[in-house]
A = this chain, B = another copy of it.
Amino acid sequence: MPDSRPLHILLAPAPRIVTDIFDEADLARLRALGSLAIHEDGPMTDDVFNAHAHADIIVGQFDMPAERLQRAKNLRAIINVEGNFLPNVDYPYCFGNGVRVLNVSPVFAEPVAELALGMAIDLARGVSRSDRRFRDGTEHYGLDANRDAFSLYRQDIGFVGMGDLGRAILPLLAPFGVRVRAYDPWLPSMWIESLGCEAASLETVLRMSKLVFVVASVTDDNQGLLDATAFAMMPKGAALVLVSRAGVVDFDAMLDFAAQGHIRVATDVFPSEPVPRSHRMRDIDRILLSPHQAGALAPALREIGKRTVADAELIARGLPPVMCKIAQPETVARFRSTPVAKS
């Protein structure tokens, strides 16, 4: 195996904190690759950057315009310790010069999938709503509590988007024997079918599903994709679980349909956070509100460091990274996520 030259690694993960995402053993593995510089005090000025311009690997999310990249002659990889590809990197330069750009979105797939399933069962079976009534002293028992409940077993389930997050939810649904229809314009039918799902139009997904998971990233093309017209297509009593990005839906329209009781909604994301104290969504009966807590679980943060280190070790050995998400030239510029601090 070639390439045992010691590497220089620049670790500047702000606004993340090094010790949140790396334990001592992980840092030791990074150091073992050559030299490790940690920068945590203050912004990444040009002076600081220039002092580490010989870095082989940069771990962080600071600005990387062409002028910096051109100075980073040894650079092989930029590992962003977030779940998104931010617009502050000159991607074309990277693709043209053999610099891998990675993010750590895989660490969030499991915790988000778990919460999405919990939210789905909550909406279907009325878990939090029954508990709320119990606390109010207005609960009903047995069959009377279940008048509009439904089960996930053998249910018609829809997906808007079938990327990494959708694929993390699928195995959790498998034991329920569900039928899944998925809409994802970036993926061929053949690919969706290889997952045991049916490829379908957005309209078919909405019309035929009792429960829809919205797991699409926001792009130029799909902002506000789920609007009043879309919600109206959903059968009365159907449920919507939103765990990717608020920008994919017309949030006000979604709240209207929930307030009218046409659909049930669970959402972990919001157009802006914190949600205003007096916002009407806080009083809607048919909504389950989750304060952006789907992915931000301690084990996920610790996994950021572990994936970063594992891929850095591969890169040091001249091998392709496999633990982080790799930016693709065709799509990286299309994402429109805005960063959320410490999500």
Q: What chain B residues lie within 8 Å of A110 (beta carbons)?
A: 151, 153
Q: What chain B residues lie within 8 Å of A275 (beta carbons)?
A: 134, 139
Q: What chain B residues lie within 8 Å of A19 (beta carbons)?
A: none
A133 to B274, CA, bound (A): 13
* A-to-B contact residues, CB < 8 Å: 1, 95-98, 110-111, 114-115, 117-119, 121-122, 124-128, 130-135, 137, 139-143, 145-146, 149-153, 171-172, 174-177, 185-191, 196, 221, 273-275, 277, 282-283, 288-293, 296-299, 301, 306-307, 310-311, 313-314, 318-320, 322-323, 328-331, 340-343
A161 to B3, CA, bound (A): 21
**A117 to chain B: closest residue by CB:** B121
Query: Contact between B141 and A115 (Cβ–Cβ < 8 Å)?
Result: no
**In the complex, how many angstroms separate the beta carbon of A22 from the nearest chain B beta carbon?**
14
Query: Contact between B293 and A145 (Cβ–Cβ < 8 Å)?
Result: yes
Q: What chain B residues lie within 8 Å of A306 (beta carbons)?
A: 190
A319 to B334, CA, bound (A): 10
Query: Contact between A273 and B328 (Cβ–Cβ < 8 Å)?
Result: no
Q: Known contacts A121-B114, A296-B142: does B330 contact A1 (CB below 8 Å)?
A: no
**In the complex, how many angstroms separate the beta carbon of A64 from the nearest chain B beta carbon?**
19
Residue from B288, B289, B342 within 8 A of A142 (CB atoms): B342
**In the complex, how many angstroms separate the beta carbon of A274 from the nearest chain B beta carbon?**
6
